[in-house]
Amino acid sequence: MKAPDLVPVSLEVNGIRFEGDVEPRKTLADFLREELGFTGVNLGCEHGVCGACSVLLDGAVVRSCILLAVQADGCKITTIEGLAREEKLHPIQQAFLDHHALQCGFCTPGMVLAAVDLLKRSPHPTEIQIREALSGNLCMCTGYVNIVRAVSAAAERIQTAEKP
């Protein structure tokens, strides 16, 4: 059995279906950025440490720089660009704005998506839980203080919104 040079891939990104052939070694991050134009996926290290490239794969946060595009076959991906509903920001995005939880913004897409993953699992996180969950996302600008405040505020807002 000879492996083809290109591998067929079928996936959904931010609600858009894509089907095509991809080089096996192309990382999911590069595929999302270059083939599909989702440049909100940032490259900060390309060895799976900084978290800047984080996306949601079938709802769970993953590092797209250490995933091959071919591995995302059949999956649903959400990048930062797919989080907001047109002009309406996701509560976490809004909270980041409200608390100035960013400066240069480069870590922000990954940080927001990591927070999305956290709040899905733990809707009422304590400060230490927030810090631990986000410890896989490096920020060089903010010192994290405002980020933690934003996620805390977002958790509250989401809870309040979901109360009957």
Partner 1 sequence: MKPAPFHYYRARSLQEALDLLSGPAANGKLLAGGQSLIPLMNLRLARPEALIDLNNIPGLSSIRSAGAEIRIGALTRHREMEFSALLAKELPLLAEAIPQIGHPAIRNRGTLGGSLAHADPAAELPCVLTALDARMVATAPDGERVIRAEDFFTGFYATALADNEILKEVRIPLDRRPAGWGFVEFARRHGDFALAEASVLLFADDAGDRCTSARVVVGGSVERPVRVGGVEKLIQGEISLNTQASSLAHVLQRVEQLTETEIQSSIAGGENPDYLCHLTGVLARRALESAMERWRKA
Partner 2 sequence: MKNAQWKGQALHPREDRRFVTGRGLYLPNLSFPKMLHAAILRSIHPHARIVSIDVAEALKIPGVVCALTGEQARALSKPLRPLIPLPVETPYYCLAYEKVRYVGEPVVAVAAVSRYVAEDALEKIRVEYEPLPAVVDPEAAMKPGAPLLFEPLGTNILWHDRFTYGDVDGVFSRAAHVFSERFFIHRYSSTPLETFGCIASYDNSRRYLTLWTNDQRPGQAMPILAHSLGLSITQIRFITADIGGGFGNKRKPPYLVLAALLSRLSGRPVQFIEDRRENLMALVHACNGVMELEVAVGEAGRLLGVRVRDIADEGLNVLNPTVHSLLKLGNVTNCYEIGAVGFEGYSVMTNKCPSGANRGIGKPFMCLALERMLDNIARRLGRDRIELRRQNLVPPELMPYTTPTGELIDSGNFPETLNKLLALIGYESFRKEQEKARFQGRWLGLGLALAIEPSTSNQSSYILTSGRRNASGAGEAAMVRVESDGSVQVVLGDVGSGQGHQTAAAQIVADELGVGFEAVQVSPYFDSLVSPWLYTTGNYSNKFAGTDVGAIQGAAKKVGEKLLSLAAHLLEASAEELELAEGAVRSKKDPNIRKTLQELAQVAYRDLLALPAEMEPGLEGRCYYRAALADLPDEQRRVRGQLFVSNAGHAAVVEVDIDTGRVSILKYAIVHDCGTVLNPVIVEGLVHGATAHGIGAALYEEFVYDEQGQPLNTTFVDYLKPTAVEVPDFKTDHLESPSPYTPLGMKGVGEGGAIPAPAAIANAVENALEPLGVRLSDLPLTPERVWRAIHSAKKKS
Residues that bind partner 1 (CB under 8 A): 1-3, 7, 23-25, 27, 30, 46-49, 51, 54, 57, 60-63, 65-68, 70-71, 73, 114, 117-118, 121, 131-133, 135-136
**Binding partner of 35, given partner 1, partner 2, none, CB within 5-8 angstroms per partner class:** none
Residue 119, burial from CB neighbour count under 10 angstroms (0-12, 13-18, 19+) = buried
Neighbouring C-beta atoms of residue 58, cutoff 10 Å: 12
Contact 153, 101 (CB under 8 A): no
Stretch that binds partner 2, among 2-10, 66-74, 90-98, 116-124 (CB under 8 A): 90-98
3-state DSSP assignment of residue 8: strand
Choose which of 89, 152, 157, 158 interacts with partner 2 (CB under 8 A). 89
Chain length of the chain: 164
Strand partners, 68: 27
Q: Which amino acid is at 115?
A: A
By the criterion CB under 8 A, which residues form the site for partner 2? Answer: 23, 25-26, 33-34, 38-47, 49-50, 52, 79-81, 83-84, 89, 93, 96-98, 100, 102-109, 112, 127-128, 130-132, 134-148
